[in-house]
Structure 1
């Protein structure tokens, strides 16, 4: 612990002085992302203040996103969030690399199955028509960040070499080898509760809230190439939407200047107790309709 600065009685509240001291130490790198701050008792003894003062200072830092409080474990410096643009269509590898994270994937299933009504409708197929299904666990810097399920019409699915799907994206494989570009897409962002299988893979509690991105990607002529459901750990990614107002003369409609995913590197997965302590840590059943059923095999 660094040599403490002295708190001075006066017009500036003691909790604010303590907050500024801790903020400065975080900004100077005395405490780095993922480091645990001194306990409340240690701060009380070091600075000669009450527990209420310490908690007020930590609350201020938490409200600003500089620290996270973990029930029963302490206060930790928040991980740095890295932004990237999503105005254009990007794939998982591009997202991670632009965010400064090392991407990798683990193929969990690659198999043929009959299209469900929802999948068939999205891909413009007949219900029960054969499609290719791909399940992957996505990792950033070696840690689970997302689980996704992808369905492709067979004319595209048979082009994908299974042995390369752990390191290559569908975008890159189809465009570089077969000249089939992904030219358009739609995103639906909603929420879901982790199933037992998703919880195991993503290292969260069963029922924990997940960020669900439902994505339809199309090639020329607006022909669907795949429909995908990606389940993100919400402690590792969020989305920020930036808007522009109308032009000065009011003639132009408002436009979206950017849609950014904000990724956060985490040091350790949250414990069950931590998940339980998060306010609003789950979503009510029925808020999200899912395309996926558990893959067999």
Structure 2
């Protein structure tokens, strides 16, 4: 790359490296070329290279390890899910702006499996709500939610592009969400889900089944949330109490956190 006149050299170098990171040419945790290699590539002094790398470090795009060099930083945001949260809260903790698009909202008949989860008679109609969930305007997840009609009628008329079921029921009706039962598994995208998420049919997704309960373990809704795997992964941390042995199996979950890609 030939450096241009009139623009500080360290700025041109940092811009070039930044473009490589943003395009994916440099992957997360990949080691960057050494200062000496950059020095020879751009025909500049080592001081200029160090200024460029310092700029990227200040921008939180790279991290530097003494004696090892510079590496691309994983700038995906972390937040805990040990506490029960909704999508807006997850996005807020990740430093992203949440928004939703309602794809479908109508009464429907469902399988006996879903009515049994919701503790309803098999012939009961439920409200189905399909939403595309976005962070900073980028499709991140697709929700299919089933609610008993009693709770479904409470959310009708609200702007569900901004508000969440949790927020409406807790803030406007004093109906607390006290418990959530989760199941996480891999699933391939159907044509319906893939179309809305902007991916290919058959692409791998992370599926979270969630049953949310209120007082007395009364089901409020059952939901399937399909996460794009290029936008989110889960990390967990277990912590062993002092004085215990690994064989005791005493490793309580300390943190269970989704990691969202903000790019």
CA contact (8 A) 1:148 1:228 kept: yes
Structure-1 residue corresponding to 2:100: 105
Compute the TM-score of the two structures, normalised by the length of structure 1: 0.65
Confirm or deny that 1:174 pairs with 2:192. Answer: no
Q: Deviations over 1:22-51 (max 9, x none)?
A: xxx78x99415524649xxxx99x75xxxx
Confirm or deny that 1:236 pairs with 2:231. Answer: yes
Larger displacement relative to structure 2 (242-251 or 120-129): 242-251
Unaligned runs of 5+ in 1: 4-24, 48-65, 67-76, 267-297
1-structure distance, mates of 2:243, 2:16: 44
CA contact (8 A) 1:34 1:78 kept: no
2-structure distance, mates of 1:252, 1:231: 31
Q: Measured at CA, do residues 106 and 162 of structure 1 come closer, stay the same or move farther in structure 2, by a change above 3 Å? A: farther
2-structure distance, mates of 1:127, 1:263: 38
Unaligned runs of 5+ in 2: 4-12, 27-32, 42-61, 63-71
Structure-2 residue corresponding to 1:146: 141
Matched residue SS, 2:154:
coil
Confirm or deny that 1:260 pairs with 2:253. Answer: no
Structure-1 residue corresponding to 2:151: 156
Compute the TM-score of the two structures, normalised by the length of structure 2: 0.73
Q: CA deviation at 1:261?
A: 0.3
Counting only pairs closer than 5 Å after superposition, residues 51-130 of structure 1 correspond to structure 2 as 80-130=75-125
Q: Deviations over 1:96-136 (max 9, x none)?
A: 01001111000011110113112112111122211111000
2-structure distance, mates of 1:265, 1:199: 20
Q: What is the number of residues matched between the two proteins?
A: 214
